[in-house]
Structures are given as C-alpha cells and as structure tokens.
C-alpha cells in the first residue's frame, strides 16, 4: 500500500503546532520521500505509525488525543519481538506509557539548546595553518570520511554515507555556503566541518559539527562553531538551535558558554527495546 504523504504531513504539522516540536525526524522524512519501499505504515485519519527498520514513529492528531488512537496504532506497528527504537519529541507522558506497555525503556535524552541571535558573538579565533571556507563539490568524500571518524560511536549521524550525504544536499534548505570546512593549509587535508541549516528566515541550526579525531586539540570545534554562527547571523536569523546529548557535559558546557540554553520542554527522549 502506498503512503499518503499529504496525510502524514497534515497530522505532523498539526502535532508540531500543538507541541512546538516536529514529531518526524529528518531521517524518517528522507526515507518517506526517497525510499518509501523501506517504510512500513499504519495510517488513519487521526494518526499514523511509521516503521523504518527498527525506528518507530507514531503521531496522533492533537484533536484525537486521549481516545486510544496511539495505543491502537502501537498495537499494530510495534513488532512483538526484536529491537525497536522510538523518539518522543517533547517527552510526552503518554509516549512513556505506550513505550512501557511494549517493553521499551527510556534510553537517551537529546536536548535542544537555543541561542537568540541578538546576543553578541565573539570574533573568530586565529588558528595558524588552517583555513575555513565554504563547501566545494570535491569535498564530498572527505566530509563523509571525517563524519564517519568523528561520529563512530553515534547511532544516527555516524551512519551517513555518500548516498545519504547526497540526499541531504538535495533538500531545499541546502546551501553550500552554509557548510563550512576547515582545511590544513600545508596538506590540503579536510580537518573538520560545521554544517549549518536554515529552517526559515528566522530560525537557523547548528546542524552538524564534526572534527577529525586526528585534529582534536587544535581548537577547531570552537572555530568552526563560531564561523557557522557568524554565517547564520549574516543570514538574518532571529534564533539558532542545536541538538546535543544531555549527558555530553563537555559539549553542553561549550554551547552554554556561547549563549545556548536548554528548557525542559526541549527534551527529546528515545525509548528502546534491545
């Protein structure tokens, strides 16, 4: 059965307006648009469940909540055994109850941190022998390489390959000038990158900051983060957000020092059954 993308979009948009958080992540939308054959779906007028591999997404229209719609969809969509992962974008109590009913345990917390663009930005630090520039098409292989090394332990970002990179770059929001790379002046080696994302004229994102493990300790993370923030400020956004694991204390401290703050409502929770 084909997936009704307009129905999914309608329910997702209504949920985002009510909750202040998008209920479908980027990976799910990419699969829906580019690889629909990999998505199993259970849909009704007031809710939808999607299963991509072991990743479950379940969304109920705000007008139908509290009527057992989510419980019914989960009963159909959650496999009776085997691994399952599901995000609650906003830490909804109802999501926790459904997860527990199917043997999924709270496994990760992802924070959204936000920074008003009106806060003054520090100037860019100087790193001898390093140039920061915009992305070139010839950088693709190196971006994939650095990303794989930098996020080797990350369950989502570390899996990006050349095909997935191309899918992301085909999205309407992609701007080569917003993908900043740090290059070693002597060798030409790509040492790290900061991929920014502009969601709307008012909202930007620190999308991905990746530093090659071999280049750690050279201050490139702060350099690239600031370069990306200056780029977004130049685009006229009002606010910049980013996602960070709640238990990544060093990263939370760095972002906090740059003016990013986290509010309880901006906590996303992953439930998992091994």
Q: Is the residue at 69 inside a domain?
A: yes
In a domain, residue 133? The reply is yes
CATH of the domain at 126: 3.40.630.30
Whether residues 209 and 132 share a domain: the answer is yes
What letter would DSSP give residue 188?
-
The pLDDT, as a whole number, for residue 1 is: 56
pLDDT in tens, 119-168: 999 999 989 999 999 999 999 999 999 999 999 888 778 889 999 999 99
Residue 159 pLDDT? 84
Out of 58, 93, 110, pick the residue that ends a domain. Answer: 110
Distance of CA 121 to the CA centre of its chain: 24
Please check whether residues 133 and 164 belong to one and the same domain: yes
CB 238 within 8 A of CB 200: no
Does one domain contain both 75 and 125?
A: no
* 139 and 101, same domain (yes or no): no
Q: Are residues 28 and 99 in the same domain?
A: yes
Q: Which of 92, 110, 128 is the last residue of a domain?
A: 110
Instruction: Examine the domain organization and report whether 164 and 123 are in the same domain.
Output: yes
Chain mean position to CA 188 = 29
Contacts of 133 (CB under 8 A, 6+ apart): 180, 181, 183
pTM, two decimal places: 0.88
Q: Decide: 191 and 184 in contact? Cβ < 8 Å.
A: yes
Asked if the structure places residue 251 within a domain, the reply is no
Note the maximum CA span of the chain.
64
Task: Specify whether the CB–CB gap between 79 and 43 falls below 8 A.
Answer: no
Is 99 in the same domain as 125?
no
**Same domain? 97 vs 173:** no
Let me know: does 165 contact 184? Beta carbons within 8 Å.
no
Which parts of the chain sit beneath pLDDT 70?
A: 1
Domain count, the chain: 2
Asked whether residue 233 falls in the same domain as residue 128, the answer is: yes
Residue 56 forms part of a structural domain:
yes
Sort strands 130-134 and 179-184 into parallel, antiparallel or unpaired. antiparallel
Q: Which of 75, 110, 145 is the last residue of a domain?
A: 110
What range does the domain containing 127 cover?
A: 119-237
Looking at residue 133, what is its pLDDT?
Answer: 97
């Amino acid at each position: 059965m084909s997936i009704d993308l307009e129905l999914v979009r309608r329910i997702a948009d209504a949920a985002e307006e009510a909750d202040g958080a998008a209920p479908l992540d980027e990976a799910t939308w990419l699969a829906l648009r580019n690889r629909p054959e990999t998505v199993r779906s259970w849909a009704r007028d007031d809710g939808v469940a999607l299963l991509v591999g072991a990743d479950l997404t379940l969304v109920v229209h705000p007008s139908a909540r509290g009527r057992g719609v989510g419980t019914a969809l989960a009963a159909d969509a959650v496999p009776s055994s085997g691994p399952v992962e599901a995000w609650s974008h906003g830490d909804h109590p109802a999501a926790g109850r459904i997860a527990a009913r199917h043997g999924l345990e709270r496994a990760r917390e992802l924070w959204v941190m936000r920074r008003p663009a009106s806060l003054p930005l520090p100037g860019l630090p100087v790193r001898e022998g390093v140039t920061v520039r915009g992305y070139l098409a010839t950088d693709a292989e190196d971006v994939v390489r650095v990303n794989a090394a930098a996020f080797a332990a990350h369950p989502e970002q570390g899996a990006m390959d050349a095909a997935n990179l191309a899918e992301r770059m085909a999205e309407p929001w992609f701007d080569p000038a917003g993908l900043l790379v740090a290059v070693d002046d002597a060798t030409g080696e790509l040492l790290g990158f900061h991929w920014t994302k502009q969601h709307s004229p008012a909202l930007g994102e620190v999308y991905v900051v990746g530093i090659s493990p071999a280049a750690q300790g050279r201050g490139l993370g702060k350099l690239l983060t600031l370069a990306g923030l200056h780029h977004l400020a130049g685009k006229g956004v009002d606010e910049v957000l980013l996602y960070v694991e709640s238990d990544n204390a060093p990263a939370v401290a760095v972002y906090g020092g740059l003016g990013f703050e986290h509010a309880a409502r901006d906590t996303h929770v992953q439930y998992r059954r091994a």
